[in-house]
Chain A
Amino acid sequence: MTAAEPLVLGIETSCDETGIGIVRGRRLLSNTIASSMAEHARYGGVVPEVAARAHLEALQPAIEAAVAEAGIALGDLDAVAVTSGPGLAGALMVGVGAAKALAVSLDKPLYAVNHLVGHIAADILTGDDVEYPTVALLVSGGHTSLLLVRDLVSDVEMLGETMDDAAGEAFDKIARILGLPYPGGPEIDRAAATGDPQAIRFPRGLSRASDLAAHRYDFSFSGLKTAVARWIEQREAAGEPVPVADVAASFREAVVDVLVTKALDACAQHGVPRLLLGGGVIANRRLREVALERAAAAGVAVRIPPLSLCTDNGAMIAALAAELIASGAAPSRLAFGADSTLPVTEIQVR
């Protein structure tokens, strides 16, 4: 294989998107995604068994579509890559089983990689030169993590993560309380458009001085959720109408404020003038707006890959493996499993 520009197929099944990506080095050839989101809508959240069933159904068509789009044959591949974790165990296992058999079938090396680091690797595919170190804020329905990336393939540190709900989950839950459909992110955004973000002062989780000592970069959204629910209940009990737009805007502001504040605090403390955003919640317009505005004021450069590379996808997994290969990393041994709590320091499962 061409170590500098390996042709890699990446398989991602950690949550509800079946992602198949194909890259040649840092060039994106295909980013095929089959989502089971619609199937989860009536449950108001991702149901692991529904997601796992959907992955099994979606894998072959997604691989075929990706290969066709990339204009390659499976036999041309230099390597196969797969998400080993973190994520939903049953969902991950579908991808791991498929990736192992595909690699063995093609007699190609297999790279088992970390999903969170994959989100960071997605930025490479934008074609710009990526500079490290960078702070990375990854926000989705499955995770809310603040990372310090000194080197993509060898040095990623978890600065903090959510202690309870992921930010995306918080959006889903508040949407439900407000009677809005799933997924909550875009719905809250829509409802908030005409609302006043300063109308209600909802709590910022883990932001008090007493919290910062132990949880400077950690997040918590369950208190916020409770506060919003209580505020609505009190309104209803008093027989007053619930100002949905104001509640949505104020809730969103609380989430965005704490995310951006902590991310920029990490940049300042570590002397890193770069912030990378990733994860599906980056689709939230207000989050991007506030991040860009406040980062500019703080002299921090913000990178936001296109949304198709921010949400869970296989291209980022392929991209990370391609970087590992270029750095001379040996393939993973075939005995690895799905690790739902894989630590971010384990960039590749050997």
Chain B
Amino acid sequence: MILGIDTSIGTAVAIIADDGAVLAEIVSADARGHAEVIGDLIVGALVEVRRRTGAGARITAVAAGMGPGPFTGLRVGIAAANAFALGRGVPLVPVASHDAAALARVTRLAAPSGAASVGAAPVEGEPVAIVTDARRRELAVSVYRVEGGLPVRIEGPRLVERASTELLDLFGEPASALPETTAISAVALARIALARLRAGEPLGELEPLYLRAPDVTLPATPKKVGS
């Protein structure tokens, strides 16, 4: 069983079986309050697994959504995924949150709590853009190509100004006109981790996709205060 946790937009928690089947999925769409809800959501998912299977969840790996997303919320999920994995002594698999959004989109994975999956049905060989809000009039964009029914990331994630026309060539539309992803599927996140573990791929660094240097205002040289 794999536990998936993502807090790059709302808070999404899911547990999938070793064949990828969904055992539990709980989300909070609230773009704040990640720290408040994370514990109860994980408990809720564990309880759901017990209810469905009659036994406690035997989590064998944890998938962490690494963003991009607003930093403060994003870190809550990564810290939680990391600590849960540590507590159970199981591997932690960092996954780009956009990758989960792309997989959900391409495989037409039903979004939790009725939220419609975003965008037209992807076509084999065609590019797919995953676009999320990055604040400060910018979008975080990753570009995928559908190969064998699965998304392969060919670019990003990177920041693009909302007003920019640089994606016009690829999509016929400016970045701001592309459909924005408003929820990340923790099920898709866990499935990506499952595939990576199966393939024996290296799990990668636990490095959040901040895409921006820390916001620091360097203290000015001491101001004159005297008269």
Partner of B222 from the list A52, A63, A102, A176 (CB cut-off 8 Å) is A176
Q: How large is the interface on A (under 10, 10 to 19, 20 to 34, 35 or more residues)?
A: 35 or more
Residue contact A233 to B226, C-beta cutoff 8 Å? yes
Tell me, in angstroms, the Cα distance from A45 to B219 when the chains sit together.
9
Q: Which listed residue, A63, A103, A234, A338, touches B35 by the CB 8 Å rule?
A: A338
B98 on the interface (CB 8 Å rule)? Answer: no
A229 contacts the other chain (Cβ, under 8 Å)?
Answer: yes
Min CB distance, B57 to chain A, in Å? Answer: 11
| Chain B, interface SS category | helix
Contact B208 A56 (CB under 8 A): yes
- Contacts of B218 on A, CB cut-off 8 Å? 43
The verdict on A53 contacting B42 (CB below 8 Å), with A98-B83, A102-B87 known, is: no
Give the distance in Å from the alpha carbon of A100 to the alpha carbon of B82 in the complex.
11
Residues of B within 8 A of A276 (CB): none
Residue in chain A with minimal CB distance to B223 = A229
Task: Count chain B CB atoms within 10 A of each CB in A234, A337, A338 and give the residue with the most.
Answer: A337
Q: How many whole Å from A96's CB to the nearest CB in chain B? A: 5
Q: For A74, give the chain B residue with the smallest CB separation.
A: B87
Check A102–B84 contact: CB distance below 8 A.
Answer: yes
Stretch at the interface among B73-81, B144-152, B179-187: B73-81
Partner of A100, one of B39, B224, B226: B39
Binds B, one of A86-94, A116-124, A209-217: A86-94
Query: Is A93 a contact of B219 with CB atoms below 8 Å?
Result: no
> Is B216 interfacial (CB 8 A cutoff)?
yes
Nearest B-chain residue to A225, judged by Cβ: B225
Residue B100 lies at the interface, judged by CB distance under 8 Å to chain A: no
Number of B residues near A (Cβ < 8 Å) is 43
Could you tell me the distance in whole angstroms from the C-beta of B181 to the nearest C-beta in chain A? 22
Judge if A336 is at the interface, Cβ distance under 8 Å.
yes
Instruction: Check A56 against B75 for contact (C-beta < 8 Å).
Output: yes
Interface membership of B200, Cβ < 8 A: no
| B33 on the A face (CB < 8 A) | yes
Q: Contacts of A96 on B, CB cut-off 8 Å?
A: 35, 76
Which residues of chain A have C-beta atoms less than 8 A from B43's C-beta?
Answer: 104, 334
Decide: A177 near B222, CB < 8 A? Known: A90-B75, A104-B42.
yes
Give every chain B residue within 8 A of A104 (Cβ-Cβ). 39, 42-43, 46, 84, 87
Interface residue A60 (Cβ < 8 Å from any Cβ of B): yes
- B206 contacts across to A, CB distance below 8 A: 57, 60
With a cutoff of 8 Å between Cβ atoms, the chain A residues found around residue B36 in the complex are 335-337
The docked-state distance in angstroms from the alpha carbon of A43 to that of B43 is 40
Task: Report if B88 contacts A (CB, 8 A).
Answer: yes
Instruction: Using A97-B38, A98-B83, A105-B84 as known contacts, list a sample of 4 further A-B pairs with CB atoms less than 8 Å apart, ordered by residue number in A.
Output: A49-B215, A97-B7, A97-B77, A101-B79
11 contacts between A and B (CB under 8 A): A47-B216, A53-B208, A56-B79, A60-B206, A93-B34, A93-B72, A100-B39, A100-B80, A102-B86, A105-B83, A226-B225
Q: Which residue numbers of A lie inside 8 Å of B, CB to CB?
A: 43-45, 47, 49-50, 52-53, 55-57, 59-60, 63-64, 74, 89-90, 92-106, 110, 176-177, 226, 229-230, 233-234, 237, 334-338
Residues of B near any A CB (own CB < 8 A): 5, 7, 33-40, 42-43, 46, 71-72, 75-89, 206, 208, 210, 214-216, 218-219, 222, 224-227
